[in-house]
Structure 1
Amino acid sequence: MTFATVMVSLALNQPNDARLQVAGDLAARFEAGMIGVAAAEFTPPLYFTTGEQAQELIDQGEAALHARLGELEQQFRAVVGDRAAASSWRSALDFPARYVLAQARAADILVTGSVPPGFSDVFAIASPKDLVMQAGRPLLVVPDNVSWLDLGTVLVAWKETPEARRAVADALPLLGKAKDVVVVEVLENASEYDACEARLHDVVAWLGRHGIVASARVDESGQGRNVAAKLDAIAADITAGLVVAGAYGHSRFRELVLGGVTEHLVTRTERCVLLSH
């Protein structure tokens, strides 16, 4: 149960300190290699121009992007230092999400930052909202107020879905280093209490066979309430430093629509979140 390669996605116009520190911490804990990745695409002007003037504008814009990508590489190397077993950098002039999704093939886990609700800039940032459903790797979302990966207590947000099963399996290396693991299901139907207990018992037993001691908690106050807010309250109550959850969403005519809990976890979380789809 380990991570051999950690990849961190950097943004051009957002803070990167938190995600870099957590990715470096992750690489150090697992003696893993580390790959930094960033991309940006030239933003077309809002006004129309042609000929030499247009080409000059494009050349200037792309030169500025190359310079910014160079700055991000320097920041990556300065933070990584000797924390990783080996490190490398990848960047390109491309749409960030498309580029990062392609590079994710080289990593065991992808680290990125959270984004504010409603924020979108496909030319400058690989948003976790774009990455989470397509990366094919666990995605660790790091809010800007976090400076290290706190594995004192980990909350596993259980739901009887393939996505939740994948998330717990992907999180095994982290759960193996946690001091306390709590598997929680927010019960939305009181008649399913016994079935919920049986489900959590199976998950806890499965973790135990992997050498991970965990406890189960059925939360009955979720009926008629916002499940995302309830998970936040539980995480605060047990002082969880990491939440593990399945990621849910679907496509709607060129638009990716995330489920309410998933949307909350990538835009409003106050702690690190590992998501898998």
Structure 2
Amino acid sequence: MSYKSIVVHLDASERAAYRLDVALLLAKHFKAHLVAVYAALVPEPKAFGFMAGSAGWYEEILAACQERCESLERLFHAGLTRTGLSGDWVEAAVHARDEVVRHGRCADLVIAGQSDPNDPQTYIVDHFAETLVMTAGRPLLLIPYTGVFPDVGSKILVAWDSSREATRAVHDALPFLTEAGQVTLVTIGAIKGELPGSRIPCADIATTLARHDVRATVGESVETPDASVGDALLSEARGVGANLIVMGGYGHARWQEVVLGRATRTVLRAMTIPVLMSH
């Protein structure tokens, strides 16, 4: 198993160029076809209609967005030439979230960025990353809005609670796991209302991974209040020196709303290393 088709979402933020670098690096490593989907927030013209003199301002916003798009496209094609990869450039003029999901469903891996509260250009639509996790049907690799990760996936922490989501994440991450130099399995907290002995132990999934030549270390279970599971997971990742967290994305999507589990919300907000999520 490998990632042979990768989709990366790009926007007008400062961090987009680095996210493209990560995508090119991973596409080269896995010999994958790379699709870059440029989808940035472009305000509706009517939002400026009531403001005197706003027409010029709106044109400036459009021009800046287009300039950023063209700059990233040049970097994308230069990267393909440099690495010898195949790829496609897609510019989503409208319905950015739907366009990324559409292309993501035809890929083995989707790469997107963490929302940065200090950079409004990372905002695409409400709950953008959360919606990708819940609706794309593919593993989502989220890159933090700060930090550099040259060896992403070389040291992996797997959050294991034997749920469907965790199971999906482990198997979706196999291309990373089979090549990682360090894999640590950890269970954090208890599932509310679970019966004693009902959870599949880390040792069992470690045995399955061993059949894929993945040498995983089983860490000690960490007991913590439910509200602190996400924080405890991030702390464990720091403790083992991980540069990638693999975890299930918990929650569900419903009409005009994404409802996430506490741990998923915490990690999406406070992540400091890349996170691979599957739902």
Q: Name the TM-score, length of structure 2 as normaliser.
A: 0.84
What do the CA deviations read for 1:168-210 (whole angstroms, capped 9, x no partner)?
11000110010111111113379977555x5212101111112
CA distance in 2, matches of 1:84, 1:134: 32
CA distance in 2, matches of 1:109, 1:10: 15
Q: Which piece of structure 1 moves more, 143-152 or 107-116?
A: 143-152
Question: How many corresponding residue pairs?
Answer: 273
Q: Residue 264 of structure 2 is aligned with which of 240, 249, 262?
A: 262
Q: Which residue of 1 aligns with 2:95?
A: 95
Q: Which residue of 2 aligns with 1:242?
A: 244
Q: Could you tell me whether the CA contact under 8 Å between 2:184 and 2:218 is conserved in 1?
A: yes
1:54 is displaced (CA, Å) by 10
CA distance in 2, matches of 1:210, 1:195: 25
Letter in 1 for 2:136: A
Q: Which piece of structure 1 moves more, 6-15 or 172-181?
A: 6-15
Letter in 1 for 2:43: T
CA distance in 1, matches of 2:75, 2:217: 40
Unaligned runs of 5+ in 1: none
Letter in 2 for 1:7: V
CA distance in 2, matches of 1:152, 1:222: 27
CA distance in 2, matches of 1:122, 1:22: 20
Unaligned runs of 5+ in 2: none
1:261 is displaced (CA, Å) by 1.5
Report the CA distance shift for 1:249/1:6 in structure 2 as closer, same or farther (over 3 A).
same
**1:222 counterpart SS class:** coil
1:8 is displaced (CA, Å) by 1.0
Equivalent residue runs for 1:133-212 within 5 Å: 133-143=134-144, 144-188=146-190, 196=199, 198-212=200-214
Letter in 2 for 1:30: F
CA distance in 2, matches of 1:117, 1:258: 19
1:29 is displaced (CA, Å) by 1.4
1:15 is displaced (CA, Å) by 1.4
Equivalent residue runs for 1:50-61 within 5 Å: none
CA distance in 2, matches of 1:37, 1:126: 18
CA distance in 2, matches of 1:56, 1:183: 55
**1:93 counterpart SS class:** coil
Identity level (%): 31
Report the CA distance shift for 1:117/1:159 in structure 2 as closer, same or farther (over 3 A).
farther
Q: Which residue of 2 aligns with 1:32?
A: 32
What do the CA deviations read for 1:70-108 (whole angstroms, capped 9, x no partner)?
222113233444335312211131122111111113321
Q: Name the TM-score, length of structure 1 as normaliser.
A: 0.85
Letter in 2 for 1:73: E
Q: Which piece of structure 1 moves more, 143-152 or 85-94?
A: 143-152
Q: Which piece of structure 1 moves more, 23-32 or 219-228?
A: 219-228
Q: Could you tell me whether the CA contact under 8 Å between 2:141 and 2:277 is conserved in 1?
A: yes
What do the CA deviations read for 1:196-250 (whole angstroms, capped 9, x no partner)?
5x52121011111122111212323324660111111111111011100000123
What do the CA deviations read for 1:98-157 (whole angstroms, capped 9, x no partner)?
11111113321011111136977336x993123111111110001131242433321110
Q: Which residue of 2 aligns with 1:219?
A: 221
CA distance in 2, matches of 1:214, 1:98: 37
Q: Which piece of structure 1 moves more, 184-193 or 256-265?
A: 184-193
Q: Could you tell me whether the CA contact under 8 Å between 1:11 and 1:126 is conserved in 2?
A: no
Letter in 1 for 2:71: E
Q: Which residue of 2 aligns with 1:22?
A: 22
